[in-house]
Amino acid sequence: MSDQPKSPLREITQPFIDLVHAPRALWGINLAYAIEGMVYFGMLGYLAIYFSDFVFQGIEHADEYSHNMVMVLTAGITIAMFVLGVVPDKLGVRFALIAAFVCMLIGRTLISGAPNLLGLEPTRPGVFVGDKLSLHITRLETRDGNKAITAATVIANDPGGAEAAAHMALDLAAGDGFVPTNGIESRLVKLSEATVVDNKENAWEVEYGTARVKARLFAHAGNTVGLCPGAVFALDSAYVTQRDGTYVIRSHWTDDFGRVDATACAEAQNPPSETSSREQLQKPTKRWPVSGEMPAISGATPVTIAALRDMPDGPVDVVVRDACVTYVRNGGYFLQADKDSPAIFAFVKPLWSRLHLVTMLGMLVVVIGYGMYQPSAYAGVRQFTTPKTAAMAFAMLYALMNLGGWLPTFAFLLRDENFLNLGIPGTYWVYTGFTLVALLATIVILTNKTVREASARAKAETAAITAAESSGQPTGSAGADSPAMERRWVPIHMWVLAVLVIAAVYWRVPSPTDLKLSVGLSVLWVFLATFPWTAPWLARHPLADTKFCFFIFALIPVQTLFTYNWLILPQYISRAFEGWIGEYFEIASNSNPLLIFIAVPIITAISQRAKVYNMMVLGTFIMAAPAFLLALGPHWWTLFLYLLIMTIGEAMWQPRFLQYAAEIAPEGRTGQYMGVAQLPWFMTKMLVPWLYSGWMMDRYCPAEGQQNTQLMWLVFGCIAMGSTVLLSLAKGWIGKDFKTKA
């Protein structure tokens, strides 16, 4: 083999040169693969935002819910590939590819069409301002410091009028002015006249009253109505709530505002004359049916709202009668008996609205399709190539995947209001149309005749190559089995892994399911680890190899940065950055595929003689380190350096990862080890959104309110740096198993 260094430029351009000369069968796969890369990463990049800002719009902890939904898609695809990877082997590559695109087309049609074609809307209360309700209440909780009804049934509803509720509003601007406190938590309030002092995102510092009381106003429609520092306005309807330990005024609707005079603003803003379609979608349109359970509550205790607020959290069995609905927001409504009485918030569970269910159904169908698609594409390349052309074909596929993943950079031209103004749902329709294009391209280009001819030609050429190379080739000796092959008992480190998984389940699953599920998983693990039929299988599993298990799990911390590309970066950039960077966040958040496409061949050529393990340690360090740059704050230069340096680090270690999995595998078990090596990537896609990413965004980079992204990225950097620390500590133990250089 030649020791001449490879040309980085040739490594970059060669896949595209080969693409031009590729046979028709490979074109049938490659063209659709590039389109699918664009569609998949384009829709994935918007998915957390779509759930947070639309499906769960206006609801506390929306980011946490939305990140869990993204987890369902990404982790589900990994599971589906394990299950459906046999489809191309059993039914043929062409059938599997077409079936995959049909599934993805149906799924994406459901996702795109749910809010507009089907007219489905986010979860909204089925009550209106002015309604007088009687409720059978079965559970109370304190949510974010606010007392709330979390389980109740409407047993009577006397539709009233908004005028009756309006008379209950406490004017905080009257006289000296009232400071929002716990004494008026959840009360309906108004501001007859107030002045904006400052603003950040949707949090407005306002002052009012003769004493010029200062308070914070969270107004979702603040920008829409033209609020700006110096503006004088009247707020007809709002409520007091606790947020981050401080009581604030909160408003959700454009029509909450009476007048806005922005003439005194440093930069006058002209509010739009009409309410946006997004705000109209938030409004309730249909009352809930009244339950006929009056006999069933004969034993329930009648209470007042004041008494209800004094009750401890937990299950209750009480009835509140004739309480007036004073304010309705997405995710709940507020109840108050009269103008001077206490109020309470009634929470409406945000999950499982029809919009949510149809969107999840669409995601499930996409999961099934993608579970067939990825294995089918790789199986097709393998089927249509020879040992001499396979490397070129797979490099081409990798290049096209990165190229497709970069194309959503320009999706802002579809989404943004300054261009086509399609919004995310409209942009999803464009991606759905490209899925149809990929399906038709596969059907037209990859015909049955093309598949037969390409397969026959590849088999004939492979047979000729094998016959030519087999003569004079020495027969290699079988490698020695690893100690795991001789073991009959489950090693201690697998018990530790099981305990950690069970502890995570207990921590994250809500009570009382947490204890039941944890006990059930514990019993199942003990059974599997001790039963005579299953224990030997676990003992010989690749994860029973202590060094292999340590190595692949040591890379989980740095792999969390991969998931941030679609879970964190789009929302972080759009929320924390002002100007064109935040407005056109797609440009920065989709830059990694293009950068990695350029960096991998360059880094590979430069580091040919470097030791693989040293490249792993150095690469993980360089990839993790720039997260600390973002801990300095949301500046354009920290974002640019983060994306550039992180990509260089990724290019240094990622190509070497599977190389180690192949090297450490005993003879005849390479495929099994390679498959298990993907497990940490699956766990990263599942654990990051499930354990902390949504919670971190809600707390440190919310869509509205005070942000502390510096601390968030400091934590992210410390997590990612864990891989470098673990690999460095274990260098003398597992580093010697790396037999080759990069």
Q: What are the extents of the domains in the chain?
A: 1-122+351-459, 124-348, 486-540, 545-742
pLDDT of residue 660: 67
Q: Is the pLDDT of residue 277 over 60?
A: no
> In one letter, which amino acid is 460?
A
Both tokens of 317, joined, read 């069995």
325: which strand partners?
A: 335
Average pLDDT over residues 386-413: 81
pLDDT at 21 over 50: yes
d(CA 265, CA 246): 27
pLDDT at 24: 85
Residues 675-691 have a mean pLDDT of 81
Mean pLDDT of 153-181: 85
Q: For residues 481 and 159, which has the higher predicted lDDT (pLDDT)?
A: 159
| CA–CA gap between residue 292 and residue 288 (Å, rounded) | 12
Strand partners, 251: 219
Percent of the chain at pLDDT exceeding 70: 84
Give mean pLDDT, residues 180-206: 89
* Cβ atoms of residues 722 and 591 within 8 Å: no
CATH of 1-122+351-459, one of 1.20.1250.20, 3.40.50.300, 3.40.50.2300, 2.40.30.10: 1.20.1250.20
Higher pLDDT, 95 or 665: 95
Q: Is the pLDDT of residue 742 over 60?
A: no
Mean local confidence (pLDDT), 378-397: 76
Q: What per-residue confidence (pLDDT) applies to 477?
A: 41
Check residue 12 and give its pLDDT: 60
Task: Please check the confidence at residue 470 and state whether its pLDDT lies above 80.
Answer: no
435 pLDDT higher than 90: yes
* pLDDT of residue 380 exceeding 70: yes
**Residues 710, 631 contacting (CB under 8 angstroms):** yes
pLDDT at 252: 86
661 has a pLDDT exceeding 50: yes
Two tokens, residue 100: 């995959």
3-state secondary structure of 276: coil
Q: Is the pLDDT of residue 397 over 80?
A: no
pLDDT exceeds cutoff 50 at 270: no
Q: What is the pLDDT of residue 275?
A: 38
What are 215's strand-pairing partners? 206
Q: Please give the Cα distance from 31 to 377 (Å, whole number).
A: 11
How far out from the chain centre does Cα 400 lie? 24
Token digits of residue 168 = 């209950």
CATH fold label, 545-742 = Growth Hormone; Chain: A; (1.20.1250)
Beta bridge partners of 344: 335
Residue 465 in this model has a pLDDT that exceeds 60: yes
Q: What is the mean pLDDT of residues 6-25?
A: 66
513: Cα separation from own chain's centroid: 24
Distance CA 464, CA 55 (A): 58
More confident residue, 578 or 511: 578
pLDDT at 281 (0 to 100): 38
Has residue 525 got a pLDDT over 70? yes
- What's the mean per-residue pLDDT of the chain? 84
- Evaluate if residue 445 carries a pLDDT over 80: yes
Beta bridge partners of 590: none
- 269 vs 673, more confident: 673
Q: What is the mean pLDDT of residues 184-196?
A: 94
pLDDT digit string, tens, across residues 322-358: 899 999 987 889 999 888 889 999 988 777 888 999 9
**Per-residue pLDDT tens for 247-259?**
999 998 888 998 8
Tell whether the model's pLDDT for residue 295 goes beyond 50.
Answer: no
The residue-averaged pLDDT of 661-672 equals: 62
Q: What is the pLDDT of residue 389?
A: 72
Q: How far apart are CA 666 and CA 63, in angstroms?
A: 44
Percent of the chain residues past pLDDT 90, beyond the cut: 44
- H or E stretch at 240: strand 232-243
What average pLDDT does the segment 273-282 reach?
Answer: 38
Residue 280 has pLDDT above 50, yes or no: no
DSSP states of 524-583: HHHHHHHSTTTHHHHHHSGGGSHHHHHHHHHTHHHHHHHHHHHHTHHHHHHHH--HHHHH
**What is the predicted pLDDT for the residue at 546?**
85
Look at residue 213 in the predicted model and tell me its pLDDT.
94
Alpha helices in 385-470 (DSSP H): 390-406, 412-415, 423-445, 448-470
- Per-residue pLDDT at 293 exceeds 60: no
Q: How confident is the model at residue 274 (pLDDT cuts 50, 70, 90)?
A: very low
What is the pLDDT at residue 737? 60
More confidently predicted of 299 and 260: 260
Q: What gap in Å lies between CA 164 and CA 173, rounded to an integer? A: 21
Nearest to 220 by CA among 194, 248, 247: 248
Q: Write out pLDDT tens, residues 339-349.
A: 888 999 998 87
Tens-place pLDDT, residues 69-81: 999 999 898 888 8
- Binned at pLDDT 50, 70 and 90, residue 429 comes out as very high
Residue 656 near residue 732 (C-beta atoms within 8 A): no
The whole-number average pLDDT for the span 317-322 is 92
3-state secondary structure string, 74-113? Answer: HHHHHHHHHHHCCHHHHHCHHHHHHHHHHHHHHHHHHHHH
Give the β-pairing of 301-302 and 232-243.
unpaired
